[in-house]
Amino acid sequence: MSDEQAAAEAEPERNESEAPENKPKRFPTAFTVLAIVLLAVWLASFFIPAGKYELDPKTGGPVPGSYTELPSCDETGDKQPCSDHSILHQFSNLWAAPTDGLYGIENDRGLVSVDNRGYLYGAAQIFLFVLAIGAFISVTMKTGAIQQGIGRLALRFKDRPAALIIVIMLVFGLGGTTEGMWEETLGFFALLVPLALALGYDRMTGAAIIFFGAGTGVLASTVNPFATGVASDAAGIEIGDGIGLRVVMWIVLMAVAIAYVLRYAHRVRADNSKSVMGPEGMTSGGLRMADEVVGDVKPLDGRQKLILTLFFGAFAVMIYGFVPWTDIWDTIFGAEWPFPTFNSFYFAQATVLFLVVSVLIGLIYKLGEKGTVDAIVTGAGEFLGAALIIVLARAVTVVMKNSYITDTILHWTENAVTDLSGGIFASVAILVNLPIAFLVPSSSGHAALVMPILGPLADFAEVPRSLSVTAYQTASGLVNLITPTSVVIMGGLTLARIGYDRYLRFAIPYFLILLVLSMAFMFVGNAIG
């Protein structure tokens, strides 16, 4: 060993004590952010006056102008809503918040506890539903049907690059709007980025097909359980409320996404110097070449075709069950929906649906009893983090409800909101949620955190609660297209060998276009009700 080699190997040991100082700072996880928010809200509950609105018996929402501060429990006892700022009460409120956030019951006084009698306030149904979705996706991915299906699409349209971009972005967009397809897209960079290079595009084009396809779909979610579902539940409305506007948003914004990517791809193919990455954007960057990758894609066998049919069929059943067809048909045509509907279909029923189909897929692909169970458990485990974030976010609202400060916060903002037009309120809701989405990149955690406040605020502004749900998920989707706190963005850029600064140069104009269009849709949504 030479002296230079010895010195090089010895260098890390001399600087080992300095390593922690040189280590790049990492943004806190969503768990840490929500834990800080939970503690901050709990501390604030000592100082914010307790208060309560009268509720409209028809809508269940607060009656504007009916807010009153609550008396101390020392004066009234605990037989009616009252303010209790004692250390023992407040500490027990914080201590039980996570448990109450999972399966707490709300009583007729508005208090949440696992020992109550009343209605489920905790997020238990959504918690189990998220785990079931994780199991369902894991079992399906285990069969390779999804990966090979995308690969076969790429192979079929290899000689028609523009059509290929359109088809794949639509597939990702459908996945995003229906089931929140985002983290799953990381598995496709190794296929689509080399394919983009082989078609004469750059690596940014391959990444944009995935980011803007799935990301725009998530932004314009229609029945996405992790965004629309969680937010609608927290806002006290059905997941299908407002779906008409969201479908139109999805169509328009997906068209914009496809046009944006196609325009850039055409320019780069015609003139390589137009790549935002410079000359290096047209090189493989160490990635496998497209012919090699596509050559590995085997044809779908009969079982995989059946599995894909079951996969998309399960989501079709979920969508059919979630959408209030009778109400929509009656509003448009003034008649009853002519086809059979489910009497009651929500998260509990959807959970069973996805678990049953998961088992069927495992049996069809002959994963065996152990293989199927292992895939289900693995998938549920992979989604456990998202499920726990929902519970922790719900715990924040439990602390607010049990301290009676939710209505006080609503009262403080009531006058400002009632002076705004509906369209402006919804647009402001987007802007307010942008920084929150940066701090809490989890769409489900974000929804569970803000919607208990945003929903009633929409009542004061005389805006449909469904529009406030759309405003929240739009902001969440916008930020997740560019935020460095997103595992998908940073992981995808690493897989595509693209620098974050180059990606921002490419994505910021698209971000601004979507922001303007989304605000315009808020005015449209308010106008049509």
Write the CB contacts of 149 (distance below 8 Å, at least 6 apart in sequence): 300, 304, 308
Longest Cα–Cα distance of the chain, Å, equals 88
Instruction: Answer yes or no: are the C-beta atoms of 232 and 241 closer than 8 Å.
Output: yes
CA 301 vs. chain centroid, Å, equals 33
Helices (H), 383-464: 384-402, 406-418, 422-439, 443-460
pLDDT of 63 reads 77
- Segment (H or E) for 119: strand 119-120
pLDDT of 254 reads 98
Q: How far apart are CA 470 and CA 433, in angstroms?
A: 11
DSSP 3-state assignment of 383?
coil
Q: What is the DSSP letter of 62?
A: B
Name residue 120's beta-bridge partners: 105
pLDDT of 15 reads 46
CA distance to 140, 152, 263, 350, per residue, from 143 (Å): 5, 15, 36, 22
Write the CB contacts of 355 (distance below 8 Å, at least 6 apart in sequence): 132, 135, 136, 376
Give the closest residue to 208 by CA, choosing from 226, 185, 227.
185
Instruction: Answer yes or no: are the C-beta atoms of 347 and 126 closer than 8 Å.
Output: yes
Q: How far apart are CA 392 and CA 513, in angstroms?
A: 34
Helices (H), 124-242: 124-143, 145-156, 161-179, 189-198, 203-219, 230-235
Instruction: Answer yes or no: are the C-beta atoms of 171 and 185 closer than 8 Å.
Output: no
Token reading at 366: 């002959």
End-to-end CA distance of the chain: 77
Name the residue with tokens 């290096």: 280
How crowded is residue 404: how many other Cβ atoms within 10 Å of its Cβ? 23
Give the closest residue to 190 by CA, choosing from 487, 483, 491, 485.
491
Give the closest residue to 110 by CA, choosing from 391, 400, 453.
400
Handedness of CA 435, 436, 442, 444 (dihedral sign): negative
- Segment (H or E) for 105: strand 105-106
Token reading at 116: 């109550």
Pairing type for strands 112-113 and 119-120 reads: unpaired
Name residue 55's beta-bridge partners: 62
Q: Where are the beta strands (DSSP E) in 14-82?
A: 51-52, 68-69
pLDDT by position in tens, the chain (length 529): 444 444 444 444 444 444 444 555 666 777 887 888 889 989 999 998 988 888 777 656 677 778 888 888 877 766 678 888 788 888 988 999 999 889 888 887 778 888 888 888 778 888 898 899 889 988 988 898 877 887 777 777 777 889 989 999 999 999 899 888 887 787 678 678 877 887 788 999 999 999 999 999 999 999 888 899 889 988 889 888 999 999 999 999 999 999 999 999 999 989 988 999 887 766 655 555 555 555 566 788 899 999 999 988 988 888 788 766 776 676 567 778 888 878 778 788 989 999 999 999 999 999 999 999 999 999 899 888 878 887 888 888 889 888 888 888 878 877 666 678 889 999 999 998 998 887 777 788 788 878 888 888 898 888 999 999 999 999 999 999 998 767 788 878 887 888 888 999 999 999 999 999 999 999 999 998 7
Kindly calculate the radius of gyration of the chain based on its CA atoms and give it in whole angstroms. 25
Write the CB contacts of 515 (distance below 8 Å, at least 6 apart in sequence): 430, 478
